[in-house]
A and B are shown apart, each in its own frame.
Chain A
Amino acid sequence: MSGETIFPALEPLLEKVSKPIQYVGGELNSTVKEWQVGGHGPGGEELTVRWALMYPDAYEVGVPNQGVMILYEVLNERPDALAERTYAVWPDMEALLREHGLPQFTVDGHRPVGDFDVFGLSFSTELGYTNMLTALDLAGIPLHSSERTDEHPLVIMGGHASFNPEPVADFVDAAIVGDGEEAVLAATDIIGEWKAQGRPGGRVEVLRRLAATGGVYVPAFYDVDYLPDGRIQRVVPTESGVPWRVDKHTVMDLDEWPYPKQPLVPLAESVHERMSVEIFRGCTRGCRFCQAGMITRPVRERSITGIGEMVEQGLQATGFEEVGLLSLSSADHSEIGDVAKGLADRYEGTNTGLSLPSTRVDAFNIDLANELTRNGRRSGLTFAPEGGSERIRKVINKMVTEEDLIRTVSAAYGAGWRQVKLYFMCGLPTETDEDVLQIAEVAKRVIETGREVAGHNDIRCTVSIGGFVPKPHTPFQWSPQLGAEQTDERLHKLRDAIRADKRYGRSIGFRYHDGRPGIVEGLLSRGDRRVGRVIEQVWRDGGRFDGWSEYFSYDRWMAAAEKAFEGTGVDVDWFTTREREEAEVLPWDHIDSGLDKEWLWQDWLDALDETEVEDCRWTPCFDCGVCPQMGTDIEIGPTGKQLLPLTVLGSGKESMVRS
C-alpha cells in the first residue's frame, strides 16, 4: 500500500513495446499528487482517498474519454483525494509485465493499481469486460469480489454499461449508475470517513455504507432466483438497509459543473484530436434503439455563456485547434445558432474549428454549418437516418423523412460540400430485406440530387452500417436480435444493390461490419449473472480487446459460452435472438433508470404499430416517468444571452512582437 512508483523497473521494458509513449504519462494538465496528500488522523489513520480510474481500452481510445477526464479532475480538486489514470495495456506489454512480475500501473505516478483504495472502471461498452479482467489480474486483485480481502481496492464500475452490471456482478464490488461527478464525491466522503475511523468492519462495512445511500449497487448484497425455464424469478436484497432498487444519479445545472476545465492533452495520437465541451446532457427525441437517450434523461442544457467560458478556458489550457460541441444531438441545443455564431466571431482568424459530432438532418441547416467551418477546416458532413425506409424509421421513432434528408444534403452539396456520410442500422425490430434495400435507393437519390445541385459529378456519399443490438432500459429491451448470419445476408444483398447500379455505384462508399461482434455485444448487454462465467472463460482462453476486430474472436466466445452455459438450460440465442414477454423479470429491473417499465412496454407496442412519439422538450410530457421519479426536470433555454467577442487565444503575443 505504498504507492511507490514502478517506473525504474518499467523503463527498460518501454523500448521493447509498441507505442511506448502511451505508458509514460506526463500529459499536459495531468496531475500527480503526494500519496499522503490528505494527511493523517490522531491515531495515524490515513485521511487520503485514492482512486485509480480506468478506461478499459487502449490508451489512444481511453485518453480522450470525457467521463474519466471529468472524474479525474473533480477528484483531484479535493485536498483529501487523489486520482490517477490507467488504461488497458497492449498484449506485448502484458506479456512483459508478467515476465518481469510488474503490476497494472497508473500512467500518472506509475503506481500499482492494487495500492489504491478504489479501482474505478468506466464502461461505455461491454466489450471492455475482458480488459477489466486482465487489469485485475495484473494488479494482483482477485477476479471475484467474493475472494477479495481488506488488502484489495474496492472495484467500482460506472459508465453506460453499469445500467446492466449483472454480467460482471461477480467481478465488481459495486456499480455507480448515472452521472458520476457528484456520485464519486459522495462515495469519497463515505470511504474517507470509514478510513478515518480506522476501517471498522472492513470492506463489507464500507460497501454496506455505500449501498445504504440507495445510489450504489453492490451485487453481492442481492440474490437472484431462477425459474425452471431459465428466466429470472426474482432479485432480492440479502442485507438490511439495502434498497430493492438502486437509483441512477442525475446532475442538474451543468453550468455548476464546468468540467473538464483543464482537458488532458496527450502527446500520443488519440482517436479524438480535439477538445470537447458538453453542451447538453440527455436527449428526449425518443429514438427507441438509443440507450444513451433513454438513460440520460432529462435534457439539461449548458447555457450559451457557460459554453463560451468552457471553450475559452479549455483552448487556453490546451491549444487544441478544434472544439467539438458534444451531446447526443448537438443541433438540438435551444441556442445552437447563437452558440455557433458567437464562437465563430470570437475565434475569427485563429484557425479554430468547431464541430458538432452528432447532428440530426432535421435540425441541421447550412447557415449553422457555415458558421461552424468559418474559422477552421471543412470536413465531411455526417448524418444518421438510422433506418432506410419510412416505415422502419417510424418503428424506431427516428422522425426524419426522406424529404428532410434530401433537402439537407442537397443544401450541403449546393454550398460546396463534396462528401456526406450517412449512418444506418441493420437488424432493427420488424425489419425486412426491403427496409434495408431501401438504403441503396436513398443513397442513389442523394447522389442524383447532389450532382444536380452541385452541377458536377465530383461528389461522394458514404453509407456506413452497424448491426443493431437491443439494449437494456429501451423499448427494444424485449426485442429479438437478428442473428449474425441473417445480418450478414441482408448486408450482402444491400452491397450488391448499391454496386449493381453503375450510374451511382462508384460515388457511393459502403462500410459495414459483419454481424458476429454484435451478437457478443448483445449477450453482454442483456445478459444476467450467468454470463459472467462466459466472460471469465473467454478471458482465460486469451480474450482481450474485444472491441478491436484484429483481436476479437467470435469462435472463442461461442466455445466459451457452450462450456459455461452447460447444464443451465440457457444459451447465447436465449439471451440474444429470443423475444421477451411483458411479465418477464429482466436482469436489470432492479437498476432504476427512472423510466417507467410500463411506459417502455407501451412504447415497444407503439413501435410494433409504427406509432411515433413526440419529443417532450417541445410538446407535453409523455409520462416516461423520469422527471417525477427522479425529482428532476427538463432544463432548456433560450437564455436570450449572447457571446461577446473577446481577446482570447494568443494574448501572450504582445510580449513577443517587436514594435
Chain B
Amino acid sequence: MAKQRTPEGPPPQPPVQKLRIQYARRGRLRYSSTRDFGRALERALRRSGVPMAYSAGFHPHPKISYANGAPTGAASEAEYFEISVTEQVDPAAVAAALDEALPEGLDIVTVVEARPGSLADRLQASRWELRFPGVEPAELETAVAGFLAEERIEVERMFKRGMKSYDARGPVEWARTGVAEDGCAILKMVVRHTTPAVRPDDVLSAITAATSFAPPRSPIATRLAQGIWSSETESVADPLATD
C-alpha cells in the first residue's frame, strides 16, 4: 500500500452557513448547459468575493450543489442551487453581487439562508410555458386535447445507457393552450418530476404520437416555476418559502 499524501498547509475553513439560490436562464443563454452555468457561477463567486467553502484535498472544489437543471435549450425562471460559505453573509447582498458578476441572461432571482430540510425533496413539479411560432392556436388546442384524452403515452429517448421508453402523459398534471400577446400559440402545463424526468420535448413527442401534430419548428420552452406540488390547488408552490 502506497503511503497517502496529504496537502500541506491548514485544512479548509469550515462552512458556517448554507444559502439557497434561485436563478433565471434567459434569452440566448438558454443554450448554456448546467455545466456551463457551473463554470460561470464559480468564476462569478470568485470575482464577487463570496466567501466560498471548499472541500479538502489536493483538488479542492467549492461546495455547491445543483438541483434538477432544465435541459439545455430551455429557458428558465426557476433554477436552483445551494452553496456553503465560511462566514455569515447577508443573502440580499450576495444576490446583488452575484447577479452583477454573472453574464447577462444568467440572473439571480433570490437568495435565502437555508433552513433544515432538503431542497431536492421540495422540487416536486415544474410549471412550463411552450411557445409555438407558426402554429395556429386552434391546431395546438386540438392536438393537446387529443394528448390529454390518453392515459399513457410511451416515448423514447437516448440515455447514456441506450434508448429508454417511458410514459410522458402520466406526469402531466394539467395542460392548457392559449394565445400570447403577440398572437403566438402557447401551451402551459405542470409536469411532476419523475424518473426519468419528462421534459418538454418528451411531451411534444407524446402529443405528436397521439395526434400526428407536427409544428414547423421546435417550441421555445420556459420553465416558469418549480417547487412543491399541491393537488388541491393544482399549483406549484415556492420551494424557498419555508427557508
Instruction: Give residues in A with beta carbon < 8 Å to B.
Output: 7, 11-12, 14-15, 20-21, 24-28, 265, 267-269, 273, 315-321, 350-351, 374, 377-378, 416, 455-458, 649-653, 655-658
Minimal Cβ-Cβ distance residue in B for A653: B49
With A21-B72, A649-B47, A658-B87 given, name 14 new contacts (CB 8 A). Answer: A21-B32, A21-B36, A25-B28, A265-B40, A267-B29, A267-B40, A269-B35, A269-B36, A319-B47, A350-B46, A455-B3, A652-B48, A656-B89, A656-B90
Residues on B with C-beta less than 8 A from A350 are: 46
A378 lies within 8 A of B58 (CB): yes
Partner of B50, one of A7, A456, A656: A656
Answer yes or no: B43 CB below 8 A from chain A CBs: yes
Partner of A15, one of B46, B90, B93, B218: B218
Contact with A along B99-115 (1 / 0, CB 8 A): 00101110000000000
Answer yes or no: B70 CB below 8 A from chain A CBs: no
CA distance A653 to B45 in the complex (A): 10
Partner of A269, one of B39, B94, B104: B39
Partner of B103, one of A11, A27, A377: A27
CA distance A181 to B103 in the complex (A): 28
A319 lies within 8 A of B28 (CB): no
Knowing A273-B39, A318-B47 touch, does A24 contact B31 (C-beta < 8 A)? yes
12 contacts between A and B (CB under 8 A): A11-B28, A12-B217, A14-B73, A20-B31, A20-B73, A28-B43, A273-B39, A316-B47, A319-B47, A320-B43, A657-B88, A658-B89
Residues on A with C-beta less than 8 A from B104 are: 26
B83 vs chain A, min Cβ distance (A): 12
Answer yes or no: B97 CB below 8 A from chain A CBs: yes
Residues on B with C-beta less than 8 A from A652 are: 47-49, 97
A578 vs chain B, min Cβ distance (A): 48
CA distance A9 to B44 in the complex (A): 31
Knowing A267-B29, A267-B103 touch, does A650 contact B93 (C-beta < 8 A)? no
B36 lies within 8 A of A656 (CB): no
B60 lies within 8 A of A351 (CB): yes
B42 lies within 8 A of A321 (CB): yes
B50 lies within 8 A of A267 (CB): no
A657 lies within 8 A of B47 (CB): no
Q: Which 9 A-B pairs have the closest CB atoms?
A: A319-B43, A650-B49, A652-B49, A653-B49, A319-B47, A458-B2, A319-B46, A20-B31, A456-B2
Residues on A with C-beta less than 8 A from B49 are: 649-653, 656
Q: How many residues in B have their beta carbons less than 8 Å from beta carbons of A?
A: 44
The CB with the most chain A CB atoms within 10 A, among B28, B45, B48, is that of: B28
The CB with the most chain B CB atoms within 10 A, among A351, A455, A456, is that of: A351
B44 lies within 8 A of A319 (CB): yes
Residues on B with C-beta less than 8 A from A649 are: 46-47, 49
Knowing A24-B31, A26-B28, A319-B47 touch, does A655 contact B218 (C-beta < 8 A)? no
Residues on B with C-beta less than 8 A from A656 are: 49-51, 89-90, 93-94, 97
Residues on B with C-beta less than 8 A from A265 are: 40, 43
B103 lies within 8 A of A26 (CB): yes
Knowing A457-B2, A650-B46 touch, does A655 contact B103 (C-beta < 8 A)? no
Answer yes or no: B161 CB below 8 A from chain A CBs: no
A377 vs chain B, min Cβ distance (A): 5
B51 lies within 8 A of A657 (CB): yes
CA distance A657 to B59 in the complex (A): 26
